[in-house]
């Protein structure tokens, strides 16, 4: 084994140009695989990081089957008062409504919720205030709108105290939230008009919303983690819904993030597949050269057989050569991928993206190269091994 | 030690079936120095291939050291060649990429001899042929005579039962040929069994016993 390895190295280094050219196919293949997958990976992780930084302080709860014990605002209030680690809860329901102000009108998304929503969703006030508990208790017709909405409907951002109508009902604007660049809603629905009203108030506005709350956010208490809150709410709901975990869903990840992940995994498979094809092409190149090498070295094979090499020894020698070429190419390819990723990271450093070698894909590349080396080396090696010693000895005089 | 009985070997040339060996029988005893002589086309190469276990007879039996070679598989034959036969070829047949000592070492590697012992035996073999100083040289850096001596060292290093030399002086000038032949005599005197195949009467005569082959038939066995 060790001897075959040494012989392979010697044989490869005795014809450097050819070996390098042969390796080139593998090098390019490995580079394509590692760089592409790592790029997708880096881009994804930086985007997911941003999403996570927005939504990581909350879990979303959806109730699909309340088993005759609906969750209401009072239930939530009860929980916040009594259950440990569970004091930040905001129900939410949404509908669309036609909004009208002194400057214009348009369709906007109306969220019905409670004050904790502000912290959970990490909203930023431009002016005024957010919803208060008294607004919820009194079913007040107050709303907090975003900057887009203020500019579209009223004409200016400084509109606290003005009124707008939602589906004909007059609402007083008590606050304006910024179109926060870092907010999820801003990223994925920039330009949309949004209004936040007390949950109780949305009940009157929308037929779709009932007192039975089906979705709410849970945030982490100060000095405790979101995981603890998640555990607390899961326990509470399990108890309430007779240990039926099908009745509700607690998800700490946003659906958006799931979708992102799905898209990128498809992208990774797609790009990885293309790169894999180029690796296979590289492998065929190796087979080609190995076949030439075997023919060229027919005489050597004859001598080796004459002095006692058996089939297995010859097979191993040539197979080892193919595998060593492959693995060298792989190593060079990985190194160059690393260099390229470093350069890319430097170039796009302003975007805050970081690209590094993805260990998983490196491993895949190594395994794949090995398999290719064995697969495409096997045929030429077997051809060499099958040669008859006398034929090989007398080859070419 | 070598017993061939009624060995036949055929080759298909086009439509014609050529009989390269025709019921050839011969017997070579241990420690003998025998030459096999015949003109080209007489079947002596075929005979040498069969004696050297490079090829298998189509009919007849062949015993080497009591082993029934005719029934051996390809891998068995490789093992027999490795352990029992040392080859010396007309065109030396050294591996060009390997140095003299690596060429000599090769059969021991195939035998699985441990490294320390290999090195010792390679040194001993090279010393015997007087090329210890040239151990690190590549074949291309050696003269024809030196290359042939490396080949002899490679044949000796496994301590074979039989040294099989195929026109060992064919590519050498007369002075070098003489040296090589002297080496064979010396090896013989040390107890090696040597079979020398040649078309050259002068070379053949140097062996105590010559076997003539013509048209695939062993025609004359003289002592």
Same domain, A196 and A306: no
- Quick check: A307 and B111 CB within 8 A? no
List pLDDT tens digits, range A107-126. Answer: 888 999 999 888 888 788 88
* Domain-terminating residue out of A221, A251, A281: A251
Residue A187 has pLDDT above 50, yes or no: yes
Do A97 and A202 share a structural domain? yes
Look at A362 and A229; give whichever has higher pLDDT. Answer: A362
Instruction: Assess A391–B contact: CB distance below 8 Å, yes or no.
Output: no
**pLDDT score, position B155:** 95
Reported ipTM: the value is 0.93
- Do residues A114 and A90 lie in contact, with contact meaning Cβ atoms separated by under 8 Å? yes
| pLDDT confidence band for A173 (50 / 70 / 90) | very high
Question: What pLDDT, on a 0 to 100 scale, did the predictor assign at position B115?
Answer: 92
User: Chain A, 270-329: which have a CB under 8 Å from a chain B CB?
Assistant: 299-300, 302-313
pLDDT at residue number B184: 93
Q: Which residue has the tokens 């007369």?
A: B174
Does A66 share its domain with A126?
A: yes
Pair (A45, A64) in one structural domain? no
Please report, to the nearest 10 degrees, the dihedral formed by the alpha carbons of residues A59, A65, A66, A70 taken in order. 80
Which residue in A306, A313, A321 has the most chain B C-beta atoms within 10 A of its own C-beta, making it the best mutation to test that interface? Answer: A306
Q: Indicate whether A382 and A295 sit together in one domain.
A: yes
Rg (CA), chain B: 17
Residues A107 and A11 in one domain: no
Contact state of B78 with A390 under an 8 Å Cβ cutoff: no
Q: Where are the beta strands (DSSP E) in B29-125?
A: 33-37, 59-64, 67-68, 85-88
> Stretch A274-303: mean pLDDT, rounded?
91
Give DSSP secondary structure letters for B165-180. EESTTTTS-HHHHHHH
Cα-Cα end-to-end distance for chain B: 17
Is the same domain home to A119 and A236? yes
Q: What's residue A300's pLDDT? A: 92
User: Higher-confidence residue: B154 or A146?
Assistant: B154
**Range in A198-212, A315-329, B119-133 the model is least confident about:** A198-212
Lowest mean pLDDT among A45-49, A103-107, B174-178, B201-205: A45-49
Cα A333 to the center of its chain, rounded Å: 25
CATH of the domain at B146: 3.40.50.300
- Final residue belonging to a domain, choices A209, A232, A251: A251
Q: Which tokens belong to B120?
A: 């010792």
A311 contacts in chain B (CB < 8 Å): 74-75, 78
Total domains in chain A come to 2
Residues A304 and A210 in one domain: no
* Banded pLDDT at B180 (limits 50, 70, 90): very high
Whether A186 and A299 share a structural domain: no
Tell me the pTM.
Answer: 0.69
For residues B191-215, average pLDDT: 90
Q: How many helices (H) and strands (E) does chain A have?
A: 14, 11
Give the pLDDT score at A397: 44
Q: Check: CB of residue B108 under 8 Å from CB of residue B121.
A: yes
- Note whether A393 contacts B54, CB cutoff 8 Å: yes
Question: Residue A335: pLDDT above 80?
Answer: yes
Name the more confident of A13 and A378: A378
Angle at A68 between CA A64 and CA A70, to 5 degrees: 65
B-chain CB neighbours of A308 within 8 Å are 78-79, 81-83, 107, 110-111, 158
Instruction: Please indicate, yes or no, whether residues A100 and A147 belong to a single structural domain of this protein.
Output: yes
Is the pLDDT at A55 greater than 60? The verdict is no
Would you state the pLDDT for residue A256?
65
Query: Which residue range forms the structural domain that includes residue B54?
Result: 2-222
Number of domains in chain B: 1
How high does pLDDT run on average in chain A?
Answer: 85
Residue B181 host element (H or E): helix B174-189
Residues A101/A154, Cβ–Cβ less than 8 Å: yes
Residue A65's Cβ-count burial label (10 Å; 0-12, 13-18, 19+) is exposed
**Together in a domain, A77 and A159:** yes
Q: Please check the confidence at residue A261 and state whether its pLDDT lies above 50.
A: yes
Q: pLDDT grade, residue A186 (50/70/90)? A: low
Strands A248-251 and B85-88: unpaired
Q: How confident is the model at residue B157 (pLDDT cuts 50, 70, 90)?
A: very high
The mean pLDDT value for A151-174 works out to 88
Instruction: Give the residue from A208, A226, A251 where a domain finishes.
Output: A251
**Looking at the predicted structure, is the pLDDT value of residue A220 above 80?**
no
* Domain shared by A135 and A23, yes or no: no
pLDDT-wise least confident of A173-177, A189-193, A316-320 = A189-193
> What is the span of the domain harbouring residue A292?
2-51+258-393
Look at A304 and B95 and tell me if their CB atoms are within 8 Å. Answer: yes
pLDDT at A12 over 50: yes
**Among all chains, which residue has been given the structure tokens 């470093």?**
A342
Q: Is the pLDDT at B172 greater than 50, yes or no?
A: yes
Task: Name the residue of chain B whose CA is nearest to A13's CA.
Answer: B97
Q: Is the pLDDT of residue A178 over 80?
A: yes
């Amino acid at each position: 084994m060790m001897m075959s390895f040494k012989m392979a190295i010697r044989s490869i280094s005795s014809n450097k140009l050819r070996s390098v050219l042969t390796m080139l196919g593998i090098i390019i293949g490995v580079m394509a695989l590692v760089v592409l997958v790592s790029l997708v990976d880096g881009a994804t992780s930086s985007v997911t990081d941003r999403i996570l930084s927005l939504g990581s302080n909350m879990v979303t709860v959806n109730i699909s089957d309340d088993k005759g014990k609906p969750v209401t605002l009072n239930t939530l209030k009860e929980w916040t008062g009594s259950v440990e680690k569970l004091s930040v809860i905001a129900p939410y329901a949404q509908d669309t409504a036609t909004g009208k102000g002194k400057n214009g009108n348009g369709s906007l998304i109306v969220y019905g919720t409670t004050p904790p929503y502000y912290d959970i969703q990490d909203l930023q006030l431009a002016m005024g205030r957010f919803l208060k508990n008294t607004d919820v208790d009194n079913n007040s017709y107050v709303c907090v709108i975003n900057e887009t909405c203020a500019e579209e409907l009223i004409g200016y951002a400084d509109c606290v105290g003005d009124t707008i109508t939602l589906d004909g009902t007059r609402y007083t604007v008590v606050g304006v939230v910024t179109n926060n660049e870092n907010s999820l809603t801003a990223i994925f629905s920039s330009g949309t008009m949004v209004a936040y009203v007390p949950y109780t108030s949305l009940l009157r506005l929308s037929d779709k919303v009932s007192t039975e709350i089906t979705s709410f956010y849970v945030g982490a208490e100060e000095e405790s983690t979101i995981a603890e809150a998640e555990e607390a709410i899961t326990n509470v709901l399990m108890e309430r819904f007779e240990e039926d975990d099908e009745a509700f869903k607690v998800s700490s990840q946003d659906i958006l993030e799931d979708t992102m992940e799905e898209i990128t995994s498809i992208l990774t498979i797609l790009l990885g597949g293309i790169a894999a094809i180029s690796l296979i092409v590289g492998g065929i190149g190796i087979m080609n050269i190995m076949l030439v090498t075997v023919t060229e070295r027919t005489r050597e094979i004859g001598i080796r057989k004459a002095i006692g090499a058996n089939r297995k020894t010859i097979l191993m020698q040539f197979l080892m050569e193919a595998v060593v070429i492959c693995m060298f190419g792989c190593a060079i390819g990985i190194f160059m991928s690393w260099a390229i990723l470093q350069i890319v990271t430097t170039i796009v450093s302003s975007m805050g993206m970081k690209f590094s070698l993805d260990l998983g894909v490196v491993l895949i590349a190594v395994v794949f190269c090995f398999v290719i080396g064995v697969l495409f080396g096997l045929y030429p090696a077997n051809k060499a091994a099958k040669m008859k010693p006398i034929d090989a000895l007398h080859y070419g005089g | 030690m070598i017993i061939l009985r009624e060995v036949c070997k055929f080759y298909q040339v086009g439509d014609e079936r050529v009989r390269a060996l025709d019921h050839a029988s011969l017997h070579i005893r241990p420690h003998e120095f025998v030459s096999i002589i015949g003109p080209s086309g007489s079947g002596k190469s075929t005979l040498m291939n069969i004696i050297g276990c490079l090829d298998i007879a189509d009919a007849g039996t062949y015993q080497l050291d009591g082993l029934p070679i005719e029934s051996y598989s390809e891998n068995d034959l490789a093992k027999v060649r490795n352990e029992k036969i040392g080859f010396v070829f007309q065109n030396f047949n050294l591996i060009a990429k390997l140095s003299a000592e690596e060429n000599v070492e090769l059969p021991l590697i195939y035998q699985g001899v441990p490294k320390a012992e290999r090195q010792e035996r390679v040194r001993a073999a090279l010393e015997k042929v007087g090329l210890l100083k040239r151990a690190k040289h590549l074949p291309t850096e050696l003269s024809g005579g030196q290359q042939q001596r490396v080949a002899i060292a490679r044949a000796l290093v496994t301590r074979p039962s039989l040294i099989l030399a195929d026109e060992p002086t064919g590519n050498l000038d007369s002075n070098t040929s003489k040296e090589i032949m002297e080496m064979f005599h010396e090896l013989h005197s040390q107890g090696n069994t040597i079979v020398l195949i040649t078309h050259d009467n002068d070379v053949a005569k140097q062996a105590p016993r010559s076997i003539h082959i013509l048209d695939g038939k062993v025609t004359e066995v003289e002592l």
